[in-house]
Structure 1
Amino acid sequence: MRQSYYSALALMMTIPLHSASGLSSSAFGQTSRPVPENAQANRFGLGWECNRGFRRQDDACFKVKLPDNAFLTNSSFGKGWDCHYGFVEKGNQCLTVQIPTNAYLDANFGDRWRCLSGYRQTNVGCDLIKVPEKAFLSDNTTGSGWECERGYRALQQACLKLELPAHSYLTTGGNEWRCDRGFENKDQTCVAVEVPENAIFVDAPHGLKWKCDRGFEPRGNQCLQLKLPENAHLNSTGNGWDCNRPYQLRGGACMIE
């Protein structure tokens, strides 16, 4: 009796499995498009891709029309070809790169040219760069193509000698000057900075060239000692004060509300 029960149960479980295995992938909403001519199934199992020498258009693969001086690419999209080194694409052709005088083929791209050192690129070719006296050729191809020597500055198409005032020095670039430490630029001269008592010199690009010592505050051209009210302390700058917690500033004093 028990054996008959288990046999019937096994038969009931087998029927759904056979039914499910007989269903096509379309029954689960999965439809696979047929692979067209001159194509192959994608190696990842998703769709298909055109064979080499063919490019995809809609659901078909069409033979790539390869122009002279071109080679096939590995992409089935786009035009499917690129020009050989030394040729440039123009429409559906690969034309020889026309290299003007005093230029060379760009090795990084192979479809354009660059001017030799000492020449500047124009719309039609390479023009000679005219280097003025006290100047030298530079690597900058977008500007004038030259730079002034150290101690000279560029003015239009010439290099003028820099006139350094007393207490100044040439910067690292060599084309401008700055005042020595302790001096500041006033009307193209270097004037000594007057540091008041209880202050130190600071090399700031703008504003005051000195800073009051800790516990002093600037007032005009002087550094006056700070008078801390009750329940206050010097702040992080050292030249002002804040109220202690939980006191708050009220009318110049530190008070509790």
Structure 2
Amino acid sequence: MHRNGLKPSHVSSKGIAGVLAAVSFTELLALALVALIAIGTPSYAQSQSALTPANAQPKSYGDGWECDRGYRRDTDTCLAIIVPENAYATNRTYGSGWECLHGFQEVNDATCLEVVVPDGGYLDPSGKKWSCFRGYTKVDDLCLEIDLPSNAYLADNTYGAAWQCNRGFEINGDTCLAIAVPENAFLNGASYGQPWTCERGYFKRDDTCEAVVVPENAYFDDAGYGPDWKCNRGFETSGDRCTEIDLPDNAHLDRSGNRWECHRNFQRSQGRCVLND
């Protein structure tokens, strides 16, 4: 007989029945599902680990993977980005992954060499090249001071001559010579051709300005062509003079006032106006 007065067989059967009564069907189903997930998870994790290389991580969206910062993709691997001296990491997974510091220039996609700025020059805002100060000109790797002649000023051109002559002077080799302006002329400011122009009432002859001789019954005309004068209305040019027009019968002066034409229904014939047939 057992110490508490019960048979062992009776105690065992009552304990099993109590456990089965305490556990519901729903709890049993939940326990089975947890067991199933526990069995399947290692296989999925191992699959993902096999597809993603070292120093990489799955993309935050979409499929595939991307390299960690400080690494760059090379086919199916992630290689460490080696940042050369005088450079900094861009933290980008594309490109070289680094850029040179301000004042250094990339050479052969491998190193960063200091930009050497010569005397008379300054580092460009980009930090990758240099330019010369105003008053200096770039010659190879140097900034040479511009030798400015008398009566000249620095030009602001990025190309062409570094200096220009003052008004009233013209370039002659490396100097600026005064322009010889004849009497009755003035500087015209032209950048090419004749630098001076004759005043109104004068015309250019060689290197001088001669007065225009206006004949009687004429007036000065600066149209830019012809004899610089024009006959008054009712007069016509005859050599260097203006002669009065002798109007024939049935004729009148034309619009210019220096020629004549026949009235309507008349036609010109041998200096006269004859009636049309």
Equivalent residue, structure 2, for 1:160: 243
Equivalent residue, structure 2, for 1:88: 170
Equivalent residue, structure 1, for 2:198: 115
One-letter amino acid matched to 1:100:
P
Secondary structure of the residue that 2:72 maps to in structure 1? helix
* Maintained 8 Å contact 2:115/2:128: no
Alpha-carbon distance in structure 2 between the residues aligned to 1:133 and 1:193: 38
In the alignment of these two chains, the number of paired residues is: 192
User: Out of 176, 182, 192, which is 1:100 matched to?
Assistant: 182
* Maintained 8 Å contact 1:88/1:95: yes
Equivalent residue, structure 2, for 1:13: 67
* Mapping for residues 31-180 of structure 1, pairs under 5 Å: 37=118, 38-40=120-122, 49-57=131-139, 60-106=142-188, 112-180=195-263
Q: TM-score, normalised by structure 1?
A: 0.59
Alpha-carbon distance in structure 2 between the residues aligned to 1:153 and 1:164: 12
One-letter amino acid matched to 2:163:
W
Consecutive unaligned residues in structure 1, runs of 5 or more: 195-257
Alpha-carbon distance in structure 2 between the residues aligned to 1:166 and 1:33: 97
**Cα offset for 1:170?**
1.7
| Distance 1:46-1:191 versus aligned 2 partners, 3 A rule | farther
Q: Which has the higher contact order (CA 8 A, sep 6+)?
A: 1
Of stretches 55-64 and 131-140 in structure 1, the one that deviates more from structure 2 is 55-64
**Cα offset for 1:178?**
2.2
**Cα offset for 1:81?**
0.6
Secondary structure of the residue that 1:82 maps to in structure 2? strand
Consecutive unaligned residues in structure 2, runs of 5 or more: 1-41, 58-64, 74-79, 82-95, 101-105
| Distance 1:183-1:67 versus aligned 2 partners, 3 A rule | same
| Distance 1:56-1:33 versus aligned 2 partners, 3 A rule | farther
Q: 4+ residue runs of structure 1 moved beyond 6 angstroms? A: 41-47
One-letter amino acid matched to 1:158:
R
* Maintained 8 Å contact 2:117/2:123: no
**Cα offset for 1:139?**
1.0
Max Rg structure? 2
CA displacement, residues 30-83 of structure 1 (integer Å, 9 cap, x when unaligned): xx9967634456679997654311234456543222110110011243221111
Tell me how large the CA RMSD over aligned residues is: 3.9
Of stretches 84-93 and 43-52 in structure 1, the one that deviates more from structure 2 is 43-52
Alpha-carbon distance in structure 2 between the residues aligned to 1:45 and 1:174: 74
Alpha-carbon distance in structure 1 between the residues aligned to 2:195 and 2:240: 30
* Maintained 8 Å contact 1:103/1:126: yes
Secondary structure of the residue that 1:143 maps to in structure 2? coil
* Maintained 8 Å contact 1:56/1:77: no
Alpha-carbon distance in structure 2 between the residues aligned to 1:166 and 1:35: 94
